[in-house]
Structure 1
Amino acid sequence: MVVVWVVTANVCRAIVWCLVGLLVWGIAPFAIGWHATTVMSGSITPAIRAGDLVVIRPVSAGQLRAGQVVQFDDPDNPGRLRLHRLVKIQGDTLTTKGDANAHSDSSPVTAGMVHGVGVLRVPGVGIPVKAFAEHNYLLLAVLVLAVLALLVGTRLDHAYDWLPTDDGPEEEPTRETPTPATNHNHDHDHDHDGLEDLLELVDLAASRNTTHDASP
């Protein structure tokens, strides 16, 4: 069971670090004056899908080339931006087209309407932004729960720290005490000394008695 928890925790950590790396890729370009946009439709699939984050690098009109993915003011929806592929340049007029569309865009686009070209695609990072813009709160809730589950999963390998071990209770240190044999030997020495004293007294008394009997 512990092995399963450890493996699951490592997998969750790997996923979290991948998500963090993708987020860094999407944010870092702001430091050099670039910006990012979330793709809201699938008009340019399969190269770029809805929910992807595309980093946009500002360019001048002379840097535009056919085949580039460009972000420009939407001529059909004032105040909105469009991300399509540039297929033709004719003077100051640009012809754009979504990769998933059968025909080119009918509304003309000028070079002055272009905000920049796409230089980096970060897949899936813009899904929360897309869900919020479309008021898809159920998807947002699922995403939040998924992130929380991943964060909890990264700690699974520490869960078994709370489980009891089979080592049993720790034994308290004991202090050595003198063995009975030592005390016995000590008492035996005292008994031996007393016996010698008694024998000396007996010998002394006997010698006195002998002397008394030998006199006239």
Structure 2
Amino acid sequence: MSRLLLAVLVLGLAFVVGWRVTGGHLERVESPSMGTRAPVGSLLWVRPVDAGVLRAGDFITFHPPGHPEQTYSHLVRAVHGDGTLSTQGAISGKDPWRVEPSDVVGRVVHVWRGIGWIVQAAPVLLLGALVIALLVRVVRRSWRLSVVVGGASLALTAALMIYQPLVQAEQLAFVPIDGGGARASYVGTGVFPIRMSSWDGADAAVVRSGQVASVDVRRADPHGSYAVSMDPQIPAWFWGLLVGLSFLPAVWTTVVGPSSRE
């Protein structure tokens, strides 16, 4: 098993290095402007491209004029006669600039949803793996499985607490509506859906990663606020996965047998 895992890691690393060596870029999506096309937490695979072949609708990565330290990934809205490009997000308005051909990083060729969260959490997970590997070498053989399971759980929990990738939503607008009240619009920025509802339950909607949804709040709550409540909608398969993982140590011990004591 350890050899298989090592082989997978080596192949993955070789693929990424090959992509970079041939001019490719990797970008992690941090804002919801591309909606469901590239939700927050996606990993973008960007291939260099001649700006002259770009057309309206192409998904590109670029530096905004005068800010080479910043990187955006938006759709080409229009190609102008001087070669500059107008850009726009899938759910955001037109960008206030024209992109020069020299500022184009490349065209997005692959979107890996959710993988960007893993890339962001990699330092915490790798540190946890290193600590576990060191502990496994010094503890008694009979304790090693417990160290691996406990250490992996702590590392994963730390990553989830620090980056909070599972359940998030970003407010886009909160505007008055006819007849009184307000309309709250949100876009999902986490891995799992969220059920939004007015405080009195009169209106509700489920917002998923990259999707935009709105809730009308017609009446103010007892504190005078037009409040929206949010509840995670964790899918059943995720709970099943957690239960299955919790039984892995017992299954391993049953199949392989308990470790011999030193």
Name 1:71's counterpart in structure 2: 61
Which structure dedicates a bigger proportion of its chain to strand?
A: 2
Name 2:102's counterpart in structure 1: 112
1:99 to 87, 90, 108: 90
Alpha-carbon deviations, 1:61-102, whole Å to 9, x = none? Answer: 22212111111112375511111100100122211000011x
CA contact (8 A) 2:84 2:101 kept: yes
Change (3 A) 1:141 1:59: closer
Secondary structure (helix, strand or coil) at the match of 2:36 reads coil
Amino acid at match of 1:119: V
Change (3 A) 1:26 1:122: farther
- Pairwise CA distance, 1:24: 6.9
Distance 2:165 2:59 in 1: 32
1:138 and 2:161 correspond: yes
Name 1:157's counterpart in structure 2: 251
CA contact (8 A) 1:72 1:81 kept: yes
| Identity of matched residues, % | 26
Secondary structure (helix, strand or coil) at the match of 1:29 reads helix
Change (3 A) 1:75 1:128: farther
Secondary structure (helix, strand or coil) at the match of 1:126 reads helix
TM-score (norm 2): 0.43
Secondary structure (helix, strand or coil) at the match of 2:162 reads helix
Amino acid at match of 1:56: V
TM-score (norm 1): 0.51
2:112 to 122, 127, 136: 122
Change (3 A) 1:44 1:90: same
1:29 and 2:52 correspond: no
Secondary structure (helix, strand or coil) at the match of 2:94 reads coil
CA contact (8 A) 1:26 1:55 kept: no
Larger Rg: 1
Secondary structure (helix, strand or coil) at the match of 1:117 reads strand
Mark the runs of 5 or more structure 2 residues left unpaired by the alignment: 124-158, 167-242
Secondary structure (helix, strand or coil) at the match of 1:87 reads strand
- Give me the CA root mean square deviation: 4.3
Distance 1:150 1:57 in 2: 39
Distance 2:85 2:110 in 1: 22
Distance 2:114 2:14 in 1: 12
